[in-house]
């Protein structure tokens, strides 16, 4: 989800407003995924590198997250959303950690997975998984994969980055080995169901060979 800051800049409004509109795009996208039959949606909400931002912007993002959980959790439960978290989210402030734990528990019976990457960095995730695999005395491709935060998520099929940037920025590096990638020019707060639909259509036209021929 990229482009909140540029969306705000274009409108000469504070970055926080871009993030708030980004939250609206999250709501729309979660709904659209349910409607279009997407089994699992993973959102990159806060990266382990986002701590480099101003304290005030980090505060805005944390407040937004708290407000979002408060306002949308019941709706998520009612709509069969099952929350998953990837990344080192236990490093957030205790109040947020408690809210996230409560949300995990209360959404556990849902059937559509919404995975949120919080304080997530893929290289850190891989290093953690490799260390755990070593502890278990078995360092193989399978054992590392089994120790990734995404171990119980389905394989990554499609990765979409908004805002026109063409890089992965430490997101799902291992999981993206055979994912289809789509880079869209739309800024995240402007992301609508039609963009998702277009990306899914493009995905359906791609031929996936996984190294075969």
Angle, CA of 14, 15 and 16, to the nearest 5°: 90
Name the residue among 57, 62, 63 with its Cα closest to residue 16. 57
The answer to whether residue 3 forms part of the interface with ligand IPE (CB under 6 A) is: yes
Alpha-carbon gap, residue 196 to 178, rounded angstroms: 20
Query: Which of ligand IPE, Mg ion, none interacts with 50 (beta carbon under 5 to 8 A by kind)?
Result: ligand IPE
Q: Which is nearer to Mg ion, 2 or 125 (CB)?
A: 2
Task: Name the one range near ligand IPE by CB under 6 A: 2-10, 23-31, 98-106, 201-209.
Answer: 2-10
Query: Which of Mg ion, ligand IPE, none interacts with 4 (beta carbon under 5 to 8 A by kind)?
Result: ligand IPE
- 23: which 2 tokens? 């939250």
The answer to whether residue 184 forms part of the interface with ligand IPE (CB under 6 A) is: no
- Let me know if 111 is a catalytic residue: no
The answer to whether residue 87 forms part of the interface with ligand IPE (CB under 6 A) is: no
Task: Name the one range near Mg ion by CB under 5 A: 2-10, 21-29, 113-121, 194-202.
Answer: 2-10
DSSP string, 156-205: P-EEEE-TT--S-TTSSTTGGGG-EEEE--S-GGG--HHHHHHHHHHHHH
- Let me know if 63 is a catalytic residue: no
* Residues annotated as part of the active site: 2, 50
């Amino acid at each position: 989800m990229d482009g909140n800051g540029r969306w705000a800049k274009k409108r000469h409004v504070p970055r926080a407003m871009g993030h708030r509109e980004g939250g609206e795009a999250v709501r729309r996208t979660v709904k659209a995924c349910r409607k279009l039959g997407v089994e699992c949606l993973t959102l990159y909400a806060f990266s382990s590198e986002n701590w480099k931002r101003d304290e005030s912007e980090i505060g805005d993002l944390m407040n937004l997250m708290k407000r979002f959980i408060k306002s949308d959790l019941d709706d998520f439960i009612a709509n069969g959303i099952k929350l998953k978290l990837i990344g080192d989210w236990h490093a957030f402030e205790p109040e947020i950690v408690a809210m996230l734990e409560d949300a995990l528990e209360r959404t556990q019976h849902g059937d559509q997975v919404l995975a949120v990457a919080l304080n997530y960095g893929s290289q850190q995730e891989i290093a953690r998984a490799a260390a755990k695999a070593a502890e278990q005395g078995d360092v193989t491709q399978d054992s590392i994969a089994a120790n990734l935060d995404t171990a119980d998520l389905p394989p990554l099929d499609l990765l979409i980055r908004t805002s026109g940037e063409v890089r992965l920025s430490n997101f799902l590096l291992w999981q993206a080995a055979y994912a289809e990638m789509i880079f869209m020019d739309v800024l995240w707060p402007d992301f609508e169901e039609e963009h998702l639909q277009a990306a899914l259509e493009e995905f359906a036209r791609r031929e996936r060979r996984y190294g075969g021929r």
